[in-house]
Amino acid sequence: MSELRFDDRVAVITGAGRGLGRAYAELLASRGAKVVVNDAGGTMRGDTVEKNVAAEVVEAIEAAGGAAVASTASVATAAGGQAIIDTALDTYGRIDILIHNAGNVRYGSLTELSYEDFDAVLDVHLRGAFHVSRAAFPHMAKAGYGRVVLTSSIGGIYGAQACANYASSKAGAIGLSNIIALEGAAVGVNSNVILPSALTRMAEGIDTSAYPDMRAELVAPTVAYLAHESCTLTGEMLIAIAGRVARAYIAETPGVYQPSWTVDEVAARIDEIRNTDNSWQLSPVPSGQADHIGRSFAMATAASRPGTTAASRPGTTAASRPGTTAASNAGTEGK
C-alpha cells in the first residue's frame, strides 16, 4: 500500500502548539503538507497567554525538513479567524485543509457555571470553528476542493459532568460540520468530525495510572485520513481513543404512526416508540433531512389509504415499507 501524501497541500491547524494539534501538524508536515501552525499560546482556561508554542512547533517541523508558518491569532473572534486563514493565503497562496482543534476548558456545575465561562468556551470551540470555517470555505469552494475536520467529543454526544459549556460546544460542532458538508457537496468540500481522546494537558489532575496508551499520536492518523484527498467521507463522525477507531452516527427508531395521539397513548406505546429494531441511519449528505421527512410522511400516507386505519395497522413503521425514501415523496421537504 502506497503512503498517503499531502505534497503541495496547505493545511491550517488550530490549537496546534501542543497535544493533539501538534501531533496532527507534525504528521501532515512529515507527509509533505505545508502547515499553518495556529496557537494563541494560552492557558487551559484561555484567559492568559503563556508562551509562543506555535513557533516551537514550526521550528520542530522545519528541523525535520518540513514547511510551516506560525500564527498566534485567536480563533475566538471573527477577525482572528480571518487572520488565521489569511496567513495561509499570504504565505502559501491557498488553503486545502482546515482542522479546528483549538480548545479551552472552564469547569462548573449547571447551577454554578458563570455566563462568562460559558461564553469563553463557546468562543473557542464552537464560534471558533465557525470563524475559521467561514473564512476558509469561500476559498475552498472557488478552488473546487477542500477538507474540513472539526473536533467534537464524547462529551458532545454523551455529556460530561460540570462541562455544560464544553458539551454544548462539542454538540454544536457536529451540526456545523453537517452544514459545511451539505453546502460543500456541490463544490468539492468535504467536512467530517473527529471525536478524539488522548492524554493532553486537559487531563492534568486526573489519575491516569490505570489508563492504556492514550498518546495523541494514536489519534493523528485518523485525522490525517479525514484530511486526505482520497477520503470521500463527508458528514460523518469518527472516534479515536486508545488505539480504537470507530464510527459514531445518529439514528432514529422507525417509531409508531397514529393519526392522533393522547398523552396516555404515548405512555402506553413508549416501548414500541423506543424499539431500535430496523433503526434508520440517515446520512446528512446528500439528503438526510429529506429522507427523514419522506419516510415519516410515507408512514402517514400508507396508514391513510382507503380501508386502512391505524387501528388495523398497529405499530405502523417505515420498516414495513422497505426502500421508502424522500425520492418517492417528491415535494415533501416541509413545504
CA dist 156 → 26, 38, 172, 193, 334 (Å): 27, 24, 8, 11, 28
H helices then E strands: how many in the chain?
A: 11, 10
Q: Choose the catalytic residue: 24, 92, 145, 166.
A: 166
Reply yes or no: is the peptide bond before residue 286 cis, omega within 30 of 0. yes
Identify whether the C-beta of residue 3 lies closer than 8 Å to the C-beta of residue 228.
no
SS3 308: coil
Q: Is 166 a catalytic residue?
A: yes
Burial (CB < 10 A; 0-12, 13-18, 19+), residue 121, is buried
- Residue by residue, DSSP assigns 130-178 as HHHHHHHHHHHHHHT-EEEEEE--HHHHH--TTBHHHHHHHHHHHHHHH
Can you list the positions of beta strands (E) in the chain? 10-14, 34-38, 67-71, 97-100, 146-151, 189-197, 237-241, 244-248, 251-252, 280-281
**C-alpha distances in angstroms, 211 versus 19, 159, 203, 207, 214?**
17, 21, 12, 9, 8
Q: In the structure grid, which three cell numbers stand for residue 202, read together? A: 486537559
The residues annotated with a catalytic role in the active site are 166
